[in-house]
Structures are given as C-alpha cells and as structure tokens.
A and B are shown apart, each in its own frame.
With several copies, the nearest count.
Chain A
Amino acid sequence: MNNKIYPSVDAAVADVSDGASLMFGGFGGAGFPNELIRAVGRKGARNLFAISNNCGTGEGELGVLFKNKQIRRVIAAFPGPQSTYFQQQVEAGEVEYELVPQGILCERMRAYGAGIPAFYSPVGVGTEVAQGKEERSINGRRCILESALGADFALIRALKADPLGNLIYRKAARNFNPVMATAAKVTIVEVNEIVPVGALDPETIVTPSVFVHRIVQVGGAHDA
C-alpha cells in the first residue's frame, strides 16, 4: 500500500519548487492550510503561481508568502481589504493578478477535476471579467467560455483523515478544500486528526481517498 502519511508539513512540501502552481483552500478565516503555508514559507520556493479565494489577511494565511515575496502570479475572487502585502506588490508591479468571480473560480477547478477542458457560463458577460474571452449565445443567453483550472499542488485543510486519504471537514471550513483536492496533481492535506482505516463512515466521507496524496497531522484549526 502507498503510504500517504508524512511526518511533517515540511516533508510534505519538500518538492514544491520555484515556479510551481499551488491552490490554497480556505475562506473567511476558516479552513486555511496555515501549517502547510508556513512550511512553503520556510521552504522558500519562489516565483509561485497561487490560486486562492483571497490573498492574505495581513501576515496571516497567504500573507506569509506575499510577505516573503514568494508569489509572482495570482488568481483570486476576493483578495480582500486586508491583503496588505499583496496590494503593495501589485502596485509595485511585482505581482500579476487575475480577478475571477468566486463561483467561476471553483467551477473551473471542478471542471479540471472532472476532465472537462472548458465550459460556457453566463457569469461576467458584459463585465470586465469577460475581456479577452470568447462570447457565444447559447439558447438565446449570452455566455463566455471559461477554461478548466488545475495546479501542481493543492494545499488544503480538513478535520479528519484516515491513512488512505478519506477526508471529512468541519462546518464552513469545508469551503474550497474539497474541490481543490480534485484539481491538483498532488493534493496535500493538513488535518487535526488521523483516524484508523474504517473509522470514517463510508456514507459521510466528503473527499474520497482517490483525490488525496499526502496527509500530515497538525494541531487544531485555529492555533497560531
């Protein structure tokens, strides 16, 4: 059997190298893979392409990597008013970014995970997010063509994993984590607890093990 359990967050991100693309789970302070983010900070990989709903809260969450100037390019739906380092670096021309409607951001990830290279959507028609995108009328409704969005790594947070990689989440900390798990070559999850194989009810597993490649046990969700 493949051993998916890693001894530390640092071991789990050891092959995140310069220029890698990474998805980061989390929304509104909940479900961020903060331990893995800090490990990428320690690892020091640069020129990263980050895909995330937001762009950090001060020095928290993705702020760690912006502060270190490790990120070169971003796709986000809501960078957020407190994304200080991100904003400074965009102004300084050090970071490129693309703003995407939130539902389309996660739908593009799902498309990648589901083997759907592109889809038409009415969201953003006639707005600045439609710029440069093919427009087409489908059943009389204006739509734009959106492409699947995948990454080299997905860094996510869950509540519990079994050693095979089955995951469950906690409340609204679920958010982007399950869909990102499906859209990366390597999905790395930090969890509060690793439980034995068979301890999770097969009816209630949210992310089945096939989508998870590396598991690290860390502390609780809101430790600093």
Chain B
Amino acid sequence: MTLERKLSREQIAERAAQELPDGAYVNLGWGIPNLIAAYVPEKAGVIFHSENGILGMGPRARPGEEDYDLVDAMKAPVTILPGGAYFSQVDAHMMTRGGHLDVAVLGGLQVSERGDLANWKVPGAKFSGGIGGAMDIAVGSRRLIITMEHVTKNGEPKIVKTCTYPLTALQCVTTIVTDLAVIDVVPGGLQLREVAPGVSPEDVQRVTEPKLAIAARTPEMRLRAQ
C-alpha cells in the first residue's frame, strides 16, 4: 500500500532541501543527498562543502566543460561558485569532524531509535566501496539528516530499534527524511514531524520498527510537484 504512494528520490531530495537554513554550510553525501542541491534556491546562500577540499561547490559541469581536477567526492566533474575555496583533504575533514558544518545529509541503510546510523556496508558484502568520509561527517556535523527509502526492497523497516548493519556512528542522526515521512530523533526516541501527501501516521508506524511519538495532528509535506 504505502509502496505505491511513496515519493520519488527527487521528491525526498526536495523535502530534505527545505531543512537547510539560509547561509548554511552543508555537506551532501552519495545517492539521494546528491540530488538536493538542485532544490536549493541560489538566494538562500547555502554553501556546499566537499570532503576532497572544496567549499562553495556549484552544480555539475556542463557537458564539454568538465575539468577533471575539479571533481566532487563522487568523482563527478563539478563547478565552483564565486567565494569558493580549495584546501587539502585534512583541512576538509577539520571542517567535518570539528563541528564547522551546519548540516550534513547522508544516505542511510539503517537508522536506530537512538539515532545510530549504518550507511556504509551491507552485512556479508565482500566489498563495499569503503568507509570514505562518512564516519567523520556523521560524528562532526552539527545536524545530520538521513535521506533514504523508508523500507528495503523486500519491505523491511530501515528505521529500527537497533542497527544490525555495520555502524557508521552512534547517536548522530538528527532527522530522517524518507519517501513516507520526516522524523526527528529526540530525547527518548523518534518524533514523527510530517507525512508524505496521502500517507497517514499509522501507515508510517506500520513500516517503522520502533514506536513513533505522534502528535494529535501531523502535517503533510509540502512539495512543488506531486
């Protein structure tokens, strides 16, 4: 049922983009997070950080204008905006681990009710790509938003009581944005903040392992195109 009503990856990104305050310094991870920048208006003055040593990262390079010395952490040719800066990887991670980024948005495989995150390896997989910068980013960002599908391909909850996948960091997640809901990690557990259009709080609870705190009225997400 809910699987039919779920938002697209682009819509999850659009909703997550609304979480970024004007002027925020933000790191975006692989997957859905990488779609977010397209939904952030230029006038918001959000400044994107890439852990390979860029601040003020702009959109992907247009075809024919790629410069392979100017790539993001996903190896994709990007651009730099006026006011941007280059620095070394060690300085880039000084920014992540040192608490200098206002928000990071990462993909997730599992999030626990305490805000633990697992996002870098499926159990039993011989090789994931590796850890990369995820652990430093998860530990250090002032706010950590996880964007992901609410359930696995087999319909199993990804928001769980305890992560069973290899962990990225403990008690690091602030907010989860999925195709069904926006959920905040608060003292004592998880608070449902918004539901996707046409989805009820009960629908969300049904595919979420831990018990959600649900207010008398839960607003629907506002999205540009539904």
Q: Residues on A close to B: CB < 8 A?
A: 1-2, 27-31, 53-54, 76-81, 83, 87, 90-91, 99-104, 106-107, 109-110, 112-116, 121-129, 142, 162-164, 166, 169-179, 182, 197-198, 200, 202-203, 205-206, 208-211, 221-222
Docked Cα-Cα span, A104 to B55, in Å, equals: 20
Docked Cα-Cα span, A166 to B101, in Å, equals: 15
| Cβ 8 A contact of A87, one of B52, B94, B126 | B126
Tell me if B149 counts as interface (CB < 8 A to partner A). Answer: no
The distance from the CB of A96 to the nearest CB of chain B, in whole angstroms, is 15
DSSP majority for the A interface? loop
Contact B88 A175 (CB under 8 A): yes
Residues of B within 8 A of A171 (CB): 54, 67, 69-70, 80, 86
Contact A28 B72 (CB under 8 A): yes
Contact B86 A126 (CB under 8 A): no
Interface centre among A54, A99, A129, A164 (most CB of B within 10 A): A164
Tell me if B53 counts as interface (CB < 8 A to partner A). Answer: yes
Contact A198 B82 (CB under 8 A): yes
Interface residue ranges of B90-142 to A (CB < 8 Å): 90-101, 116, 126-127, 129-137, 139-140
Contact B98 A1 (CB under 8 A): no
10 contacts between A and B (CB under 8 A): A28-B73, A30-B71, A53-B89, A106-B93, A113-B98, A115-B94, A115-B97, A126-B170, A174-B89, A205-B87
Tell me if B169 counts as interface (CB < 8 A to partner A). Answer: yes
Docked Cα-Cα span, A39 to B95, in Å, equals: 29
Nearest CB in chain A to that of B95: its residue? A210
Tell me if B192 counts as interface (CB < 8 A to partner A). Answer: no
How many chain B residues touch A (Cβ–Cβ < 8 Å)? 64
Residues of B within 8 A of A106 (CB): 88-90, 93
The distance from the CB of A160 to the nearest CB of chain B, in whole angstroms, is 13
Interface centre among A83, A106, A209 (most CB of B within 10 A): A106
Contact A202 B69 (CB under 8 A): no
Q: Residues on B close to A: CB < 8 A?
A: 22-23, 25, 43-45, 47, 49-56, 67-75, 80, 82-101, 116, 126-127, 129-137, 139-140, 166-170
9 tightest A-B CB contacts, nearest first: A1-B45, A103-B93, A198-B82, A103-B136, A78-B130, A115-B97, A2-B23, A101-B135, A28-B75
Docked Cα-Cα span, A206 to B87, in Å, equals: 9
The distance from the CB of A147 to the nearest CB of chain B, in whole angstroms, is 15
| Cβ 8 A contact of A107, one of B67, B71, B93 | B93
- Given the interface pairs A87-B126, A205-B85, the reply to whether A102 lies near B93 with Cβ below 8 Å is yes
Docked Cα-Cα span, A164 to B83, in Å, equals: 7
- Given the interface pairs A124-B135, A128-B166, A198-B83, the reply to whether A81 lies near B100 with Cβ below 8 Å is no
Residues of B within 8 A of A177 (CB): 88
